[in-house]
Amino acid sequence: MTSAKAYKGLGMEGAIATWYTKHTGRDLSRFKETARLVAEHARPGAEVLEVAPGPGYLSIELARQGYKVTALDISKSFVRIAREHAVNAGVAVDVQLGNAAQMPFADAAFDFIVCVAAFKNFSDPIGALNEMHRVLRPGGQASIIDLRKDASSEDIDAEVRNMHLSAANAQLTRWTFQFVLLKRAYREDQLEQMVAQSQFRRGELARNGIGFELRLTKRPGIAD
């Protein structure tokens, strides 16, 4: 049974959060693409929650497209950075501090939830899934996008090349993928098992490059 991870990964605070913000901000096209994927499932003007937004680039892009966006992160540094970025971008994003497995929101508060590159780091992944289910409205959907455990070295090399990094940063990123991120990532059967144990009961998995998209729906009539 897969229910929790003792290891939470590096704390994304201070200098680490600042480095990550600069690193991911070099290419914002990926956030525009993810926002496009969200728009395929979320109606215009929907209330969207981003779980673990980091620097807030995706939340800002969603707000620009007219969604009412709330963001929740466990990192105090990222909450501060994401709030500053939203103000500088001139968009309204409600960025809050909190744990994905204990969300500070009312039941049925959101139409859509998105979580990118963070699920593998959650210490209580099933708890996070259940909280997503709780705060979604009946018929609401969630999209979890993350790294595949079986991503090959060739896939990772291609992904890093597309990031257009300096030689030093590219090498560091490859090392991080190979020796840190892949160790935390889940296999498809593990994801399916966690979903089956959660209030969602079932979901749809789709492969995309080095990662996957897990699509979940809160079926009407299913109680938390």
What CATH number is associated with residue 206? 3.40.50.150
Q: How many domains does the chain have?
A: 1
Tokens 């992944």 -> residue = 125
Lowest mean pLDDT among 5-14, 70-79, 172-181: 5-14
pLDDT tens digits, one per residue of 102-146: 999 999 999 999 999 899 989 999 999 999 999 999 999 999 999
Residue 159 lies in a domain: no
- Which residue range is the domain that position 118 belongs to? 14-149+186-217
- Is residue 43 in some structural domain? yes
State pLDDT tens for residues 181-210.
677 789 999 999 999 999 999 999 998 778
pLDDT, averaged across the chain: 84
The Cα 10–Cα 101 span in angstroms is 18
Q: Full-prediction pTM beyond 0.85?
A: no
Cα–Cα distance for residue pair 16/10, rounded to 1 Å: 9
What gap in Å lies between CA 108 and CA 100, rounded to an integer?
Answer: 15
**Per-residue pLDDT tens over the stretch 163-175:** 555 676 656 665 5
CB 53 within 8 A of CB 41: no
Residue-wise pLDDT tens digits, 32-54: 899 999 999 999 999 999 999 98
Residue 114 included in any domain: yes
CB 7 within 8 A of CB 40: no
Asked if the structure places residue 175 within a domain, the reply is no
Residue 145 lies in a domain: yes
Catalogue the E-assigned strands of 6-147. 47-51, 68-73, 93-97, 110-116, 136-147
In a domain, 170, yes or no: no
**85 within a domain of the structure (yes/no):** yes
Query: In this structure, is residue 32 part of a structural domain?
Result: yes
Q: Which range, of 21-35, 85-99, 152-166, 177-191, averages the lowest pLDDT?
A: 152-166
The token pair that represents 172 in the structure block = 């560091």
Specify the long-range contacts of residues 14-18, CB closer than 8 Å, at least 24 apart. 14/77, 17/54, 17/55, 17/75, 17/77, 17/78, 17/81, 18/77, 18/81
In whole angstroms, what is the distance from residue 188 CA to residue 191 CA? 5
